[in-house]
């Protein structure tokens, strides 16, 4: 190992882990040399109704992109997460729910979860929801969110979860795109002691969503919300009289399991489509090996089910493995910044998986809020969502983990379904800031801008050369966009949109997005989406949005705004525009900085030179590069002179 900071696998971790370094090397080599044999074997970790005889049928050829795994097998995902555990662990806790208020929590056994899912599945069927129908879930972090996902899976409906922080408009767009027939929501969410008006937002969204016939509403806070007769049903009333057994739909491995909208570099968010068999095999297997999950352990992923991390590593992976998974409704700093660690102690959490932005925010408060808790139950720590800077890594390792818990820095994407590059706790020596090595079956490739594969220690664009079972299958309703986005930039590869460095030990260091996607507190935003929200304001004529380095959020949102002629650049309007974007997209899209830009740097053909705008946003005026091709080079000086400090 060449780098100064290397943390070797602890002896006891290696001895007791599912995978040690010898086994990793053997299994990895086999997974690449013989993917059919490898996945043919590991596909058996889940229960199939009709076993598959075919393992892999994949083409990355832009003329014929198709991705199929286990495609003559049939199964039911919910039955894999519930029914098959009943005999051996029916009374084991499946979900520990920790409410926003520290005095509120609940434990749900596998049998209880099976029954709740059955009741809701039956209620949904009674309302006419059938196999293949899309159902939107717009929920707070309550157990009913997981119940709703599994009930969809049970009856073969395709869920589309929309994060509770999205606005009515964003919700409406997503519902319309996939023509959902039902929305499952709550009266209100509760985060950090504050209500989130989910039902009110749903009502507003549904004014423009004729496909939705029924709304099921979980009572969370008891807020007074209007219920529309014939359309809206209280969850408790709808499920109360239903039988607990709900026959599981027999699904093909390639039948859709869910759609999840995510931002791209252009246009509106894409409906990333994941299917049933390969996704479940991949999330279950990565959950077991990456977190070295052992029977009986308490596992906590702090994500929201509105993001892919919640799908794969709060619900599907852990429940397929019969794990005990903790669902947290609240936020890291409520009531105090000790909350995470108090929850760890309260529920004796063994494996803790969170995001760098949370770690950085908590670091600001110093060690005391951490050190006054025990955390002795912790064994493994995990990080996801954005690059973790070595300083945050060291704090996580030393302060949170007391220097004894390996950190798995897991790199993956909504599109990948599960973790692709990550250490395995018993196998991989750690380097702070590196996602380290590929998971089984994953073949990372670094290419230059012309698509030439680079060898050895190098830096470039990260692609993946072979399919893995958890890969997305298409963009819902727009296969051409799927092909264009991921398979045309670099022929023969899946293009991730990330840049990366590979060091002399073959370790991968993700350097961030190389496209117009930014990562704000681990939330993915398309700059184009924020721009179109801004220009929708009557006083804005043009807008250009870029990311800039932000101490806590990783990246912040920097917007250059040109007003329509005659409008005044006032502080009041600045505030109004921030509020406007929050309303259009949601709070996560709030611009951190708005700079008035009487002109934007454009080429003579009218293309905005974002490279220059990024540099100005980064306060890096020394390396603006060639500005001579600009239609009006003087706008650059003006932007520099007027950059808000």
Chain positions contacting ligand WT7, by CB under 6 A: 262, 307-309, 384-387, 409-414, 435, 496-498, 510, 512-513, 519, 524
Q: In this complex, which beta carbon is closest to ligand WT7, that of residue 202 or of residue 496?
A: 496
Q: Which is nearer to ligand WT7, 292 or 498 (CB)?
A: 498
Q: Provide CB contacts within 8 A for 285, sequence distance 6+.
A: 42, 45, 440
The residue among 242 and 590 lying less far from ligand WT7, judged by its C-beta, is 590
Who's near 586: CB < 8 A, 6+ residues apart?
163, 165, 166, 167, 170
List alpha helices for 350-487, DSSP H.
356-363, 368-371, 390-395, 479-487
Map residue 215 onto helix, strand or coil.
Answer: strand
Q: Find the shortest distance in angstroms from Cβ 422 to ligand WT7.
A: 8
Nearer to ligand WT7 (CB atom), residue 385 or residue 591? 385
Q: Are the CB atoms for 317 and 345 separated by under 8 Å?
A: no
Give least dist CB 314 to ligand WT7, A: 12
- 444/497 with CB nearer ligand WT7: 497
Of 296, 334, 298, 293, nearest to 317 by C-alpha is: 293
Mention every residue, 6+ apart, whose C-beta is less than 8 A from residue 533.
580, 581, 584, 585, 589
Nearer to ligand WT7, 238 or 351 (CB): 351
Gyration radius of the chain over CA positions = 24
Specify the residue, 121 or 522, whose C-beta has the smaller distance to ligand WT7.
522
Q: Considering the complex, what minimum distance in angstroms separates the CB of residue 306 from ligand WT7?
A: 11
- Using CA atoms, how far apart are residues 143 and 95, in angstroms rounded to an integer? 7
Say which residue the tokens 């507003």 belong to.
204
| Tokens 């012309």 belong to residue | 450
Closest distance of CB 309 from ligand WT7, Å: 5
Using alpha carbons, select from 35, 17, 3 the residue that is nearest to residue 441: 35
Query: Given the complex with ligand WT7, which of 135 and 500 has the nearer CB atom?
Result: 500
Q: Which residues are annotated as a binding site for CoA?
A: 191-194, 309, 333, 521, 582
Sign of the dihedral through C-alpha 200, 205, 209, 212: negative
HEC letters along 331-369: CCCCCCCCHHHHHHHHHCCCEEEECHHHHHHHHCCCCHH
Distance of closest approach, residue 434 Cβ to ligand WT7, in angstroms = 9
In sequence order, the 6+-apart residues with CB closer than 8 A to the CB of 24 are: 424, 427, 428, 437
Q: For residues 321 and 295, what is the distance between their CA atoms, to the nearest angstrom?
A: 9
Which of residues 291 and 307 has its CB atom nearest to ligand WT7 in the complex? 307
DSSP notation for 122-143 = HHHHHTT--TT-EEEEE--SSH
Q: Say which residues have a Cβ less than 8 Å from residue 358's Cβ, sequence separation at least 6.
A: 302, 332, 340
- Smallest separation (angstroms) from ligand WT7 to the CB of 82: 25
Q: If you search the block for the tokens 């009557």, which residue do you land on?
A: 538
Least distance from ligand WT7 to the Cβ atom of residue 485, Å: 13
Of 443, 440, 436, which is closest to residue 408 (Cα–Cα)?
436
Alpha carbon distance 275, 259 (integer Å): 9
Binding-site residues for ATP, in ranges, read 385-387, 409-414, 498, 513, 524
Question: What backbone phi and psi angles, to 5 degrees, belong to 38?
Answer: -60, -55
Nearer to ligand WT7, 173 or 410 (CB): 410
Residue 6 C-beta: closest distance to ligand WT7, Å: 18
Nearer to ligand WT7, 307 or 494 (CB): 307
* Tokens read off for 114: 């099976």
DSSP code, position 268? S
Q: Give binding residues as ranges.
A: 191-194, 309, 333, 385-387, 409-414, 498, 513, 521, 524, 535, 537, 540, 582
Nearest-approach distance from CB 124 to ligand WT7, in angstroms: 28
382 close to 407: Cβ distance less than 8 angstroms: yes
Instruction: Give 171 or 238: the residue with its C-beta nearer to ligand WT7.
Output: 171
Task: Work out whether the CA dihedral 610, 487, 158, 49 comes out positive or negative.
Answer: negative
Helix (H) or strand (E) holding 274: strand 270-275
Closest approach of ligand WT7 to the CB of residue 303, in Å: 7
User: Nearest approach, Cβ of 525 to ligand WT7 (angstroms)?
Assistant: 9
Q: Which is nearer to ligand WT7, 218 or 363 (CB)?
A: 363
d(CA 266, CA 94): 40
The binding site for Mg(2+) consists of 535, 537, 540
**At its nearest, how many Å lie between ligand WT7 and the CB of residue 500?**
9
H/E stretch holding 641 reads helix 634-641
Q: How far apart are CA 570 and CA 582, in angstroms?
A: 19
In the complex with ligand WT7, the residue whose CB is nearer, 174 or 513, is 513
Distance CA 288, CA 318 (A): 8
In the complex, least distance from residue 514 CB atom to ligand WT7, rounded to whole angstroms: 9
Please state the closest distance from residue 161 (CB atom) to ligand WT7, in A. Answer: 13
SS (H, E, C) 566-598: CCCCCHHHHHHHHHHHHHHCCHHHCCCEEEECC
The token pair at 354 is 């969170």
Q: What Cα–Cα distance (Å) separates residue 285 from each residue in 96, 252, 281, 312, 491?
A: 22, 20, 6, 11, 29
């Amino acid at each position: 190992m060449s780098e100064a900071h290397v943390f070797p696998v602890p002896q006891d971790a290696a001895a007791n882990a599912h995978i040690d370094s010898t086994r990793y090397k053997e299994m990895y080599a086999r997974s690449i040399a013989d993917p059919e044999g490898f996945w043919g074997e590991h596909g058996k970790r889940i229960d199939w109704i009709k076993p598959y005889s075919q393992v892999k049928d994949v083409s990355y050829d832009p003329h014929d992109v198709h991705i199929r795994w286990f495609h003559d097998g049939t199964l039911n995902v919910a039955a894999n997460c519930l029914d098959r555990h009943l005999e051996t662990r029916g009374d084991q806790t499946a979900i520990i729910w920790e409410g926003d208020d520290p005095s509120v929590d609940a434990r749900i056994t596998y049998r209880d979860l099976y029954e709740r899912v059955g009741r809701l599945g039956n209620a949904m069927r009674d309302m006419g929801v059938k196999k293949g129908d899309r159902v939107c879930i717009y929920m707070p972090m309550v157990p009913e969110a997981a119940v709703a996902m599994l009930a969809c899976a049970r009856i073969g409906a395709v869920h589309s979860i929309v994060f509770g922080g999205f606005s009515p408009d964003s919700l409406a767009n997503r519902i319309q795109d996939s023509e959902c027939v039902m929305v499952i929501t709550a009266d209100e969410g509760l985060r950090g002691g504050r209500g989130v008006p989910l039902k009110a937002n749903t009502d507003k969204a549904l004014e423009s969503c004729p496909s939705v016939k029924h709304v099921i509403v979980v009572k969370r806070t008891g807020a007074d919300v209007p219920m529309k007769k014939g359309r809206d049903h209280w969850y408790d009333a709808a499920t109360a009289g239903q039988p607990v057994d709900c026959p599981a739909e027999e699904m093909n491995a390639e039948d859709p399991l869910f759609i999840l909208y995510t931002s791209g570099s252009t246009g509106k968010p894409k409906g990333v489509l994941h299917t049933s068999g390969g996704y479940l095999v991949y999330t279950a297997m990565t959950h077991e090996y990456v977190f070295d999950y052992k029977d009986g352990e308490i596992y906590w992923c702090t994500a929201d089910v509105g993001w892919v991390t919640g799908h794969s590593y709060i619900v599907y992976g852990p429940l397929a493995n019969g794990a005990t998974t903790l669902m947290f409704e609240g936020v890291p700093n409520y009531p105090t910044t000790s909350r995470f660690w108090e929850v760890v102690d309260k529920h004796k959490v063994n494996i803790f998986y969170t995001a760098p932005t949370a770690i950085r925010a908590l670091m600001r408060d110093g060690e005391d809020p951490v050190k006054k808790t025990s955390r002795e139950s912790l064994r493994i720590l995990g990080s996801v969502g954005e690059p973790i800077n070595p300083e945050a890594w060291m704090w996580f390792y030393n302060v949170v983990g007391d220097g004894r818990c390996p950190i798995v820095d897991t790199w993956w994407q909504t599109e990948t379904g599960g973790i692709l590059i990550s250490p395995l706790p018993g196998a991989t020596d750690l380097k702070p800031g590196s996602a380290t090595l590929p998971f089984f079956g994953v073949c990372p490739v670094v290419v230059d801008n012309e698509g030439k594969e680079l060898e050895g220690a190098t830096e470039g664009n990260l692609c993946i050369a072979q399919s893995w079972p958890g890969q997305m299958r298409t963009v819902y309703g727009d296969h051409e966009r799927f092909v264009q986005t991921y398979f045309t930039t670099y022929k023969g590869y899946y293009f991730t949109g990330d840049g990366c460095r590979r060091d002399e030990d073959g370790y991968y260091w993700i350097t961030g997005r190389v496209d117009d996607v930014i990562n704000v507190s681990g939330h993915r935003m398309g700059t184009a989406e924020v721009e179109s929200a801004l220009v929708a304001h009557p006083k804005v004529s043009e807008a250009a949005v870029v990311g800039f380095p932000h101490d806590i959020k990783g990246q912040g949102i920097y917007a250059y705004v040109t007003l329509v002629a005659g409008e005044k650049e006032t502080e009041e309007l600045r505030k109004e525009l921030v509020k406007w974007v929050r309303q259009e997209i949601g709070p996560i899209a709030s611009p951190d900085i708005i700079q008035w830009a009487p002109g934007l740097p454009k080429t003579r053909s009218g293309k905005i030179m974002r490279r220059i705008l990024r540099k100005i946003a980064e306060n890096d005026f020394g390396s603006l590069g060639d500005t001579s091709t600009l239609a009006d080079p003087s706008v650059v000086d003006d932007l520099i002179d007027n950059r808000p400090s």
